[in-house]
Structure 1
């Protein structure tokens, strides 16, 4: 009987003592916590300078900027692949191909929280000024040996969203597709400001 008492009652008493030690009582009046989105204007959370003029932080899902249906006129694509590393949060789609000898286009968006359009890298074809639905963008076409293009759309002062395409027949074609996708699908979904 003593062993049964030790096995059953002792753990219950010890557990009750642990739970009692974890509780605390505070005096005052309970009120709901204020969410960051409800902060007063001018606080660091809502100040344009604190978030880079609006910034990309409000974009929580890269695939919300580019959907498979946005690419239907460019062929059939596999479901999106999301990735995240120190430099970008991304969502990309790889075109389905008929044979191994075909080249698949890969198109996607890269959200760069800490890189402005002024920091777009030259990938062989220079960096050009573009206007995408009134947004001052930068375009970096690839070279003849790299048929690719990156179109960088500013979001605030210190962040951007890149529309990138690789696997086109030429850098010119890659830029035409990237610009068309940016104008029709990606730019309208970006935060304004």
Structure 2
């Protein structure tokens, strides 16, 4: 029973740790992230990057970026859970397990309206650059402490969508799975510039 409890609770606690590690706080007074400056003179925002300048505001449902059918080749998963965690709109899928000895992965997407990929925090294994279908992303591995990984995909200049995997056998396995899910399911559904 203790082993089963550990297998269920540990991934959830690790998920909280990874989500907390992917946010940053700054002192000062809160203000809108995209308030127009005097030099913009009302012209529409443009960006020279391939990710465009529209940001994540057009993503109304985080579960629209990752559906249960996208995960069928990785096992059987429970219905998605939508919530707000660490300032991110989140949709996560918990893997069903047959026995306490099975790995129980949690795969999710986190829409961060006010955090760029440059704000991706090191969660133990470093932050490295990745290319996901031509989109310049950042990968934060949990290292040896946490078998998890977050892959941050830029959407505009100041927002991002994270693909997170927890509860894998190792952080390397979690990062491989996060990259595969990002390439085949999440990135193709993100707003383009």
* Superposition TM-score tier, normalisation by shorter sequence: 0.7 to 0.9
Q: Which ranges of structure 1 fall in alignment gaps of 5 or more residues?
A: 1-41
Matched residue, 1:174:
174
Q: CA deviation at 1:144?
A: 1.1
Q: CA deviation at 1:85?
A: 4.6
Residues 88 and 48 of structure 1: is their aligned pair in 2 closer, same or farther, counting only changes over 3 Å? farther
Residues 58 and 106 of structure 1: is their aligned pair in 2 closer, same or farther, counting only changes over 3 Å? same
Matched residue, 1:164:
164
Pairs aligned (count): 149
Q: CA deviation at 1:55?
A: 0.1
Matched residue, 1:117:
117
Partner Cα distance (1:164, 1:71) in 2? 13
Q: CA deviation at 1:43?
A: 4.7
Partner Cα distance (1:188, 1:43) in 2? 30
Q: How does 1:1-193 map to 2 (within 5 A)?
A: 43=42, 46-48=44-46, 53-85=53-85, 87-193=87-193
Normalising by structure 1, we get a TM-score of 0.73
Say which structure, 1 or 2, has more relative contact order (CA 8 Å, 6+ apart): 2
Partner Cα distance (1:86, 1:140) in 2? 16
Normalising by structure 2, we get a TM-score of 0.73
Largest Rg, 1 or 2: 1
Corresponding residue SS for 1:128:
strand
**Cα RMSD, aligned residues only:** 1.7
Partner Cα distance (1:86, 1:47) in 2? 27
Partner Cα distance (1:86, 1:151) in 2? 16
Which runs of 4 or more aligned residues in structure 1 lie more than 6 Å from their structure 2 counterparts after TM superposition?
A: none
Partner Cα distance (2:174, 2:192) in 1? 26
Q: CA deviation at 1:86?
A: 5.8
